Chain A
Amino acid sequence: MWEYTDTVTEHFQNPRNVGEIENADGVGDVGSLACGDALRLTLKIEGDRIVDAKFKTFGCASAIASSSALTEMIKGMTIAEAEKITNEDIATYLGGLPREKMHCSVMGREALEAALANYRGLTLPQAEGEVVCECFGVTDVEIVRAIKESNLRSVEEITNFTKAGGGCGKCEEKLQELLRQTVSEGLRVIPLKKPVQRMTTLQKIKKIEEVLEREIRPGLRLDGGDIELIDVDGDFVMVALRGQCTSCFKSQTTIKEFVEKKLREQVLDSLVVEEVK
């Protein structure tokens, strides 16, 4: 069972502003039955202000709660204020969403953009992008935007936020490529050599621990050193060297040429190992 905040539960059980505004000034339709969630947002706009907002949502508790929260947030806002709302704002309003459900907040943001674009008679930039994920119809424009806005660092996170890659998985290589191209140059993302194996964070941690224990620690211990796994964030693995290794002037070589190489070979070839002092 998902762990929802009290606010999510409250908005799911007692959603605000359900329905459709007749003769709405702006209508935003996003999602589809095939995708498993969809949202129709209708707005009443007077002058530059949103005076009313209603929604209809097909989806899970997160989708309904995100829609309800969105309508509460934007009622009374000027268009300029509403345009600044991000999916993170919706999630924050709800006291957070499970990572796997962040795409529900993204759907809310997209519906708002679609409704405002409809009000202005404009076409959304997403519609102009190239569809990368055929299963869920997600474009490269949407993916790149999600990577930048939410600082995504792995394909798994892209899937959580956009649903791209959550179906047949054939687009994973393309997602990895988009991730590589988009992240700032300061981050090291390794080009894909073979199709990425899908692993949950827990699976990654278990596998990394196994390889550390079996392949890496024995070697380091011969030299009076050791290594400890500190954290795993997407494809980034944080480790701390212990014992003699702590003061070794070749610690970076150990990390990159030995530890990272082994973990890439035996866990996931996109892992980046970083030392935490």
Chain B
Amino acid sequence: MTNQANRVIYLDNNATTRVAPEVLEAMLPYLTDLYGNPSSMHTFGGQVGSAVREARERVARFIGCEPDEVIFTSCGTESDSTAILSALRANPERRHIITTRIEHPAVKNLCENIATLTGHKYRVTMLKVNEEGLIDMDEYLDALSEDTAVVSVMWANNETGVILPVEEMARLAKERGIFFHTDAVQAAGKIPINLRELAIDYLSMSGHKLHAPKGIGVLYVRRGTPYVPFLAGGHQEHGRRAGTENVASIVGLGRACQLADEKLVEENSRVKALRDRLEDGLLQTIPRSLLNGHRIERLPNTCNISFEYVEGESILLHMNRHGICASSGSACTSGSLEPSHVLRAMGVPFTAAHGSIRFSLSVYNTAEEIDFVLEKMPEIIARLRQMSPFWPGD
């Protein structure tokens, strides 16, 4: 099988996703003819306001909450910051934050900055994970204290896809009067979310991870939960997030949520089967390759595999020559000098951490694409290993 010219096999959907054609179609009128301001009193703006309202209802249906619990933001990072800072301001006498060592930088760096920029007035507990990327619930229970203001734990990890037990963690926090936030940026659209049944107070989502455009996010805030706006100004979003609405993207996100709801079954069956075919094929044909993360408690679209004794950036660049797009937790790809904090927290040895590749699929991937990747990867890895001073030989 040969690659067609300019063909792209996109297996980097945890980084971002293509905008679904249905989403683009829904957005276009709001970038052309329907350009009114949704806050305007006239009918021309009013119809745009109606579209925003409908999108809010779609998002609410998607995550199982009420429309007035949905705030549109610019991205997942804004949602994370707003949620955590709101919880802290609502609880000024409490000075403890619980999170994990495998959070996305949006939460990890925020928590670290809160500690350092306040002269360590805040104490941050970063829960450890085991070699499969799962946390120890006993450690979590020990960490919860009367001083804890907020717990922020990602629903699913972006690098390994490992799903954390946020339902149970939220319940345990709630019992102690502690606010619970979850960064569900990777989970939304891949596993079912029904907030009515859960004790989660704040939840973050990002549009571009589920086939809506970049630059639109959602913050869910449970009714009655304290809230402090991150952006002050006008009365948009009921005074909870100022700034004229990003209408086309909001409409697109609403449509993307509707599609994601419809495609959850496909995500959990066809996409998962493709992922497993890729994963099994790589592990079977390439010696000294290891799966990073729990085999079962994992998003259906993600697999993270380490190829020992070779370096991730080199692998990615050779993959790129064949039009295959993925990501690596190696240091060199990020401009950092140390490999992924997630893999290091899981105790993945350096022999493997530098050579990790994350494959993340979407509903747009095909079996033919996976077969092409399975054909090319063994020769790429063998070629790099042939020049690695550490490769002990087959």
Contact = CB atoms under 8 A, between A and B. Distances in A.
Interface string A11-53: 0110100110000000001000110111110000000000000
Nearest to B321: A13
B337 A61 contact: no
Interface string B295-339: 000000000000001110110011001000000001110011111
Interface of A: 2, 12-13, 15, 18-19, 29, 33-34, 36-40, 55-64, 100-101, 135-136, 159, 163, 166-167
B311 A60 contact: yes
Interface of B: 309-311, 313-314, 317-318, 321, 330-332, 335-339, 350-351, 354, 386-390
Contacts of B314: 12, 59-61, 64
Contacts of A34: 350
A136 B389 contact: no
A99 to B, nearest CB: 10
Contact of A33 (B332, B336, B351): B351
Contacts of A63: 311
A36 B330 contact: yes
Contacts of B354: 33, 36, 58
Nearest to A59: B311
A161 to B, nearest CB: 12
Contacts of A40: 389
Given A61-B317, A64-B314, A135-B338, A36 B331 contact: yes
Task: Give the one of A12, A55, A60 with max B CB within 10 A.
Answer: A60
Main secondary structure of the interface of B (DSSP, over half): loop
A76 B321 CA distance: 33
Given A33-B350, A36-B330, A58 B389 contact: yes
A60 B332 contact: yes
A13 B310 CA distance: 15
B317 A36 contact: no
B311 A36 contact: yes
A37 B350 CA distance: 11
B313 A61 contact: yes
29 contacts: A12-B314, A15-B387, A18-B386, A18-B387, A29-B389, A33-B309, A33-B351, A33-B390, A34-B350, A36-B331, A36-B332, A36-B337, A36-B350, A36-B354, A37-B311, A38-B389, A55-B387, A58-B309, A58-B310, A58-B311, A58-B389, A59-B311, A61-B313, A61-B314, A61-B317, A100-B335, A135-B337, A163-B337, A166-B337
B149 to A, nearest CB: 25
A24 to B, nearest CB: 13
Nearest to A166: B337
A36 B311 CA distance: 7
Nearest to A68: B387
Given A33-B350, A37-B311, A58-B310, 5 more contacts: A12-B314, A29-B389, A33-B354, A56-B388, A166-B337
Nearest to A20: B389
A137 to B, nearest CB: 12
A267 B232 CA distance: 25
